[in-house]
Amino acid sequence: QVQLVESGGGLVQAGGSLRLSCAASGTILSINAMGWYRQAPGKQRELVATITSGGTSNYADSVKGRFTISRDNAKNTVSLEMNSLEPEDTAVYYCNAYVYDPTYYFTRNIREVWGQGTLVTVSS
């Protein structure tokens, strides 16, 4: 019942900034951890950043110091502020969330939900 809708992707020059947003919609009782992943052409999807419901964040070494993840629990949104972008950051970015769903019979009623992805292209 919960869907994630992403926005904010686009084309930006190296050294520039971009902000991605992801909003959860549907019947939401609670959301635990949320995060951002990315996948470049020909490469595996990799973790970019995560944030717990309490606001504790974690980053991949490749983006540490340049990206900032944040969330608004009241609005059920998660954002990724990207600064000092590099061509290597070019990828499709996906948001995800672990959503509590008492009708889900696996993983202690926690369902993993993924967004559709948004393309970020960084030109050199």
Per-residue confidence (pLDDT) for residue 102, from 0 to 100? 87
Q: Tens-of-pLDDT digits for all 124 residues of the chain?
A: 899 999 999 999 999 999 999 999 998 989 999 999 999 999 999 999 999 999 999 999 999 999 999 999 999 999 999 999 999 999 999 999 999 988 888 888 999 999 999 999 999 9
The confidence score (pLDDT) of residue 105 equals 86
Do 39 and 119 meet the contact criterion of CB atoms below 8 Å apart?
Answer: no
Closest by CA to 113, choosing from 29, 43, 54, 55, is: 29
Q: Looking at the chain, how many residues does it have?
A: 124
Instruction: Specify the pLDDT at position 107.
Output: 85
Distance CA 44, CA 38 (A): 8
Nearby residues of 107 by Cβ (< 8 Å), 6 or more positions away? none
